[in-house]
């Protein structure tokens, strides 16, 4: 049974992790409450069901938060694993969204997806971000854990963090693609280049366009994998499209063009989406970042629900014809 496309979705399940102490500054831990209480999201056309919201375990800031990140990652991994177990065993296909605070939550998210689906095959991952997030505790100049999830998902860094869910690397280098990168340290770039990871830097995105780049990225992470995930850091977008972030960088993806790609390209092998690094206290008076979160949810998932509605309508017609 294919987890990703065996059945079309009826609703979107969401899991939240209220984490922020692994980040550059505090505030991302408030993202879940803001998004969960957002009237924009509540009034959207995608029915969101919050399965669980996980409070953050805090043991410090910077590298002293590593034990907290380990505990947070284990809890989020278990929640994701359980959601996937229930989906595989149920008669109805449900979609899964993970909403985090700082990007260290990705260790828990993708460890849960990869370890639970390992019997079915490898998973791919498209990492939309301004940053590479590929330091280890030994190479990070800041010690901030939100700059280290990729290395741990690849099997490097802290032994406990790289073994969340199971003892194997969660993502193979050939199944990982970065999109929108424009801020990084030389150690991260050298580490990923040696592994052969495909990185679409911001200048290439601007030259080719996000649609062309994302098409290639999705093709790459779908090749010889069971399916792929999408991890979206809000600072991957231009500041004018997503002002509520803690580590803004000049340049970035044009949000409208990214949203258009999501509604015009098949994403049949998409397994899970993760949204991170929304820092509500920095949003503008128009709540531009909050609106972008809602737009992302709608543009990624509404086409999938629409396909369900069409399929259900056709099935009802066939039943009526059978009894006519």
* CATH at 268: 3.40.800.10
pLDDT of residue 292: 98
- Within a domain: residue 231? yes
**What pLDDT score does 145 carry?**
93
Is 202 designated active site? Answer: no
Catalytic-role residue among 133, 202, 241, 283: 133
Q: Indicate the SS3 state at residue 219.
A: helix
Looking at the domain assignment, is residue 3 inside a domain? no
Catalytic residue among 29, 233, 241, 298: 233
CA 65 to chain centre: 22
Domain assignment of residue 165, given as a range = 9-317
Of 131, 135, 152, 299, which one is the catalytic site residue?
Answer: 131
Does 268 participate in catalysis according to the annotation?
no
Residue 157, Cβ neighbours under 10 Å: how many?
24
Q: Among the options 13, 21, 24, 103, which is catalytic?
A: 103
Please tell me the total count of domains within the chain.
1
Q: Catalytic: 193?
A: no
Find the Cα–Cα–Cα–Cα dihedral 206, 209, 210, 214, rounded to 10°: -120
∠ CA 167-66-185 to the nearest 5 degrees? Answer: 90
Q: Which residues of 3-23 are buried (b: 16+ CB within 10 A; e: fewer)?
A: bbbebbbebbbbbbbbbbbbb
Verify whether residue 49 is a known catalytic residue: no
Q: Is 233 among the residues known to form the active site?
A: yes
Residue 93 has a pLDDT of: 62
- Residue 263: inside a domain, yes or no? yes
Per the domain annotation, does 1 fall within a domain?
A: no
103 flagged as catalytic: yes
Give the pLDDT score at 94.
77
Sheet with strand 9-18: strands edge to edge: 48-55, 9-18, 93-99, 270-276, 227-233, 123-128, 176-181, 198-201
User: Tokens in use for 74?
Assistant: 């284990």
Q: What is the pLDDT of residue 319?
A: 52
Which one is catalytic: 146, 241, 290, 298? 146
Q: Residue 279: inside a domain, yes or no?
A: yes
Active site residue 129: yes
- The whole-number pLDDT of residue 303 equals 86
324 occurs within a structural domain: no
Q: What is the pLDDT along the chain (324 residues), one digit of tens a residue?
A: 234 333 444 689 999 999 999 999 999 999 999 999 999 999 998 989 999 999 999 999 989 999 999 999 999 999 999 999 887 655 556 799 999 999 999 999 999 999 999 999 999 999 999 999 999 998 998 888 999 999 999 999 999 999 999 999 999 999 999 999 999 999 999 999 999 999 999 999 999 999 999 999 999 999 999 999 999 999 999 999 999 999 999 999 999 999 999 999 989 899 999 999 999 999 999 999 999 999 999 999 988 877 655 444 444 544 555 444
* Residue 323 falls inside a structural domain: no
* Cα 188 to Cα 184: distance, rounded to the nearest angstrom: 7
Domain membership flag for residue 103: yes
CA-CA distance, 139 to 66, in Å (whole number)? 15
User: Catalytic: which of 102, 129, 241, 290?
Assistant: 129
Query: DSSP string of 259-293?
Result: HHHHHHS--TTEEEEEEE---GGG--TT-HHHHHH
pLDDT at 305: 78
- Residue 249's SS3 state is coil
Q: Is 277 a catalytic residue?
A: yes
Quote the crossing angle between the two packed helices 255-264 and 288-323, to the nearest 10°: 10
């Amino acid at each position: 049974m294919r987890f990703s496309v065996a059945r079309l979705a009826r609703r979107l399940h969401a899991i939240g992790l209220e984490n922020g102490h692994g980040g550059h500054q505090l505030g991302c831990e408030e993202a879940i409450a803001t998004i969960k209480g957002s009237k924009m999201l509540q009034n959207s056309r995608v029915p969101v069901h919050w399965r669980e919201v996980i409070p953050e375990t805090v043991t410090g800031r910077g590298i002293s938060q590593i034990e907290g990140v380990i505990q947070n990652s284990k809890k989020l991994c278990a929640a994701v694993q359980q959601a996937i177990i229930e989906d595989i065993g149920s008669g109805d296909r449900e979609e899964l969204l993970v909403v985090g605070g700082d990007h260290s939550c990705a260790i828990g998210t993708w460890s849960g997806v990869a370890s639970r689906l390992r019997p079915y095959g490898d998973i791919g991952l498209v990492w939309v971000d301004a940053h590479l997030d590929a330091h280890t505790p030994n190479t990070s100049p800041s010690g901030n854990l939100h700059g280290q999830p990729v290395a741990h998902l690849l099997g490097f860094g802290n032994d406990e963090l790289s073994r969340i869910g199971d003892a194997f690397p969660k993502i193979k280098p050939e199944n990982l693609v970065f999109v929108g990168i424009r801020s990084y340290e030389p150690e991260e770039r050298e580490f990923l280049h040696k592994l052969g990871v495909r990185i679409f830097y911001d200048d290439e995105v601007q030259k080719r366009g996000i649609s062309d780049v994302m098409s290639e990225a999705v093709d790459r992470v779908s090749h010889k994998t069971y399916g792929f995930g999408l991890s979206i850091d809000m600072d991957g977008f231009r500041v004018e499209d997503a002002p509520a972030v803690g580590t803004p960088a000049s340049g970035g993806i044009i949000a409208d063009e990214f949203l258009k790609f999501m509604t015009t390209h098949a994403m049949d092998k998409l397994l899970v989406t993760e949204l991170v690094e929304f820092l509500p206290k920095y949003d503008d008076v128009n709540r531009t970042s909050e609106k972008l979160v809602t737009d992302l949810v709608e543009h990624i998932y509404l086409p999938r629900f629409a396909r369900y509605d069409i399929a259900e309508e056709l099935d009802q017609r066939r039943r009526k014809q059978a009894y006519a």
